[in-house]
Amino acid sequence: MSQSNSLAGKNVAVVTDSMYEDLEVWYPVIRLREAGAEVKVLGLHESGKILKSEHGYEVREDMPISSARAEDFDAVVLPGGMAPDELRRHEPVLQFLRDADSQNKVIASICHGPQLLISAGLLKGRTITCVDSIKSDLINAGANYVDQELVRDGNLISSRTPEDLPAFGRELVSALSQVKAAPMIG
């Protein structure tokens, strides 16, 4: 299978809101689409809502997370920036992540993205990395924090900052290439 369609038939949810870190949304979205995956941006609003990044770059929300089902996706990407701090306050987001984890879906978080995993109660005993400013939050949630560009613990993939995106992207594509595709979504 060529690089351009190695993830054909795979569905990925990128969970974000306004004030996301530009590269942490767009790098995975572009890389996954280039590999043939169907990528949907999920957020708190209605489909079509424009979400602006920390630097003013725009992404269109494809569907509200309250309408999404974890079983329809093969992986979930949790970008950083300030968006996770808002998203973690909403139970539909947290339940979506709990469902994805219980179904052993790939969950890839970067920078502040692990804040969502903390609030969903998914990190006790897990090994993970993140941006330095939330390291204590991970430790207090019972996680084993390590300072590495990439950490893989079962279905969880994590990286620290935009500088780690090449390793993050490689591991995400590799992990997705090993899972059976979820049913196609509309």
Q: What is the pLDDT of residues 119-163, one digit of tens each?
A: 999 999 999 999 999 999 999 999 999 999 999 999 999 999 999
Place of tokens 């269109």: 60
Residue 173 lies in a domain: yes
- More reliable by pLDDT, 56 or 184: 56
Catalytic residues: 111-112
Per-residue pLDDT of 13-23, as tens digits, reads 999 999 999 99
Residue 185 lies in a domain: no
- Give dist(CA 134, CA 99) in Å, integer: 24
Query: Which range marks the domain in which residue 168 is found?
Result: 3-177
- More reliable by pLDDT, 2 or 45: 45
Residue 182 lies in a domain: no
Taking the alpha carbons at both ends of the chain, their separation in whole angstroms is: 25
Residue 184 lies in a domain: no
Residue 112 lies in a domain: yes
Torsion angle in degrees (nearest 10) through CA of 165, 166, 168, 174: 150
CATH number at residue 19: 3.40.50.880
The pLDDT confidence band at residue 179, using thresholds 50, 70 and 90, is confident
Copy the structure tokens of residue 36.
Answer: 């043939």
pTM: 0.95
Residue 145 lies in a domain: yes
Residue 99 lies in a domain: yes
Domain count, the chain: 1
Give the residue-averaged pLDDT of 63-72: 96
Residue 45 lies in a domain: yes
